[in-house]
Amino acid sequence: MPSPEISHALLDAYFHHSFAALPILDRSIFLGTLQQGSFSHLLLNAIYLAATIYCSDSVIADAGFPSRYAASLTFYRRAKSIYDAGYETDAIATIQATFLMCHWWSGLLDHKDPWYWIGISTGMALALGMHQVKSYTSLEDKERKIWRRLWWMVYAMDINLSMLLDRPPHVQGRLCNVPPLSEADFEHVNGLKGAETFDETLNEANVFAINAVQLARIGTAFLVLLS
């Protein structure tokens, strides 16, 4: 595991860049699990993987990696090993982690590519019923928001990769009756150092996420016309 200093730098990069555009978890809940030592090792390594794309070169060097590629590969392999071992039992953490593992693709010969990982994410999300309104009725407000953001980010990624790779999407839009994202689905940061600046970043990113979902829904209609 990285040193506390490197871990902090990677998490900072993740929350200010990847998380801002792809809000698949609750920041305060995740940081709370880190403090309590009850965090998901699968999810943490997947977050580190995403962070290596955005962190500064100095963080990569201070962590002892010869290159950004080496850092990404290391955290990907760690996350993949944990997933393959079946160590993670939390379904939501697994969906979040496999979604983030879409950040890695070593080449055409690697069959566990972004399409493979988004297939895992969508399959588990569908199994939980995240595409159906009735599945949300028993959830607390905070958990409901996490589910909605996670579902729509997985949905958008699936459609985008489907169009990019010319493959049929894993998600059938006609089966989804969950309303699209709105500002009410996003968290706000209070009482933390730099919270005001971070909250402004999130507000801008929220608009991006909402529009990304709208574009994905348009993409779904486009794929139906082509099929």
212 exposure class (CB count in 10 Å sphere: 0-12, 13-18, 19+)? buried
pTM: 0.90
Of residues 13 and 199, more confidence is placed in 13
Average pLDDT over residues 45-62: 97
pLDDT digits (tens, 9 = 90+) for 67-87: 999 999 999 999 999 999 999
pLDDT of residue 200: 58
Q: How confident is the model at residue 218 (pLDDT cuts 50, 70, 90)?
A: confident
Using the structure block, give the residue that is written with the tokens 């297939």. Answer: 119
Average pLDDT over residues 95-100: 98
Q: Residue ranges per domain, the chain?
A: 4-226
Of residues 139 and 190, more confidence is placed in 139
**What gap in Å lies between CA 67 and CA 107, rounded to an integer?**
18
pLDDT digits (tens, 9 = 90+) for 14-27: 998 888 788 999 99
Average pLDDT over residues 176-191: 79
**What gap in Å lies between CA 130 and CA 160, rounded to an integer?**
19
